[in-house]
Amino acid sequence: MWTAEAGIADPYPVYDELRERQPVYFNANLGAYFLTRYADVEQVLTGPEFRTPDGAWADENKPGWRDHPSTRFMHTSLLYQNPPDHSRLRRLLSRGFTTRRIEAQRPTVEENVDRVLGRLADLGAGGAVVDLQDTVSFPLPVSVIGDLVGVPRPDQPQFRWLIDDMSKLFDPVIDGDTLKRADDATVQVRAYFQDLLTFRRGTPADDLVSVLAASDAEDDEAIDLLALVFGAGFETTTGLVGNATRALVTFPDQARLLPELATAVFDEALRWDSAAQMVLRVTGRATRIGDVDVPEGVAVTGFLGAANRDPARFPDPASFDLRRQDARPLSLGGGTHFCLGAALARLQADVLFAQLFTRFPNLTLAGEPVRRKVLAMRGFDSLPVVI
Ligand code: HEM
Q: Is the CB of 233 under 6 A from ligand 1?
A: yes
Residue 79 alpha carbon, nearest atom of ligand 1: 40
Residue 15 within a domain: yes
Average pLDDT, the chain: 96
- Report the atom number in ligand 1 closest to the C-alpha of 52: 16
Cβ of residue 236 lying under 6 Å from some atom of ligand 1: yes
Is the pLDDT assigned to residue 265 strictly greater than 60? yes
CATH number at residue 108: 1.10.630.10
| Distance from C-alpha of 368 to C-alpha of 254, rounded to nearest angstrom | 21
Q: What percent of the chain has pLDDT over 70?
A: 99
Report residue 2's pLDDT band, with 50, 70 and 90 as the boundaries: low
Domain that holds residue 235: 4-65+97-146+223-386
- Domain membership of residue 369 (yes or no) is yes
Residue 171 lies in a domain: no
Domain count, the chain: 1
- With a pLDDT cut of 90, the percent of the chain lying above it is 94
pLDDT at 5: 83
In a domain, 342, yes or no: yes
Does 250 reside within a domain?
yes
- What is the residue with the minimal CA distance to atom 39 of ligand 1? 337
Q: Is the CB of 90 under 6 A from ligand 1?
A: yes
Helix (H, G, I), strand (E, B) or coil at 237: helix
pLDDT at 101 over 90: no
What mean pLDDT is predicted for residues 312-340? 96
Confidence of residue 96 (pLDDT cuts 50, 70, 90): confident
The confidence score (pLDDT) of residue 48 equals 96
The model's pLDDT over 182-238, given as tens digits with 9 standing for 90+, comes to 999 999 999 999 999 999 999 999 999 999 999 999 999 999 999 999 999 999 999
Would you say residue 72 lies in a domain? no
Statement: residue 98 has pLDDT above 90? no
What are the start-end ranges of the E strands in the chain? 24-27, 32-35, 50-51, 130-131, 278-283, 287-289, 292-294, 299-303, 364-365, 370-371, 380-382, 384-386
Does the C-beta of 337 come closer than 6 Å to ligand 1? Answer: yes
Residue nearest to atom 3 of ligand 1 (CA): 236
Average pLDDT over every residue of 140-168: 97
Give a yes or no: residue 121 inside a domain.
Answer: yes
Residue 186 lies in a domain: no
Q: Give how far the C-alpha of residue 293 lies from the chain's centroid of Cα atoms, to the nearest Å.
A: 30
CA neighbor of 72 nearest in space, from 182, 149, 176: 182
Residue 318, pLDDT above cutoff 90: yes
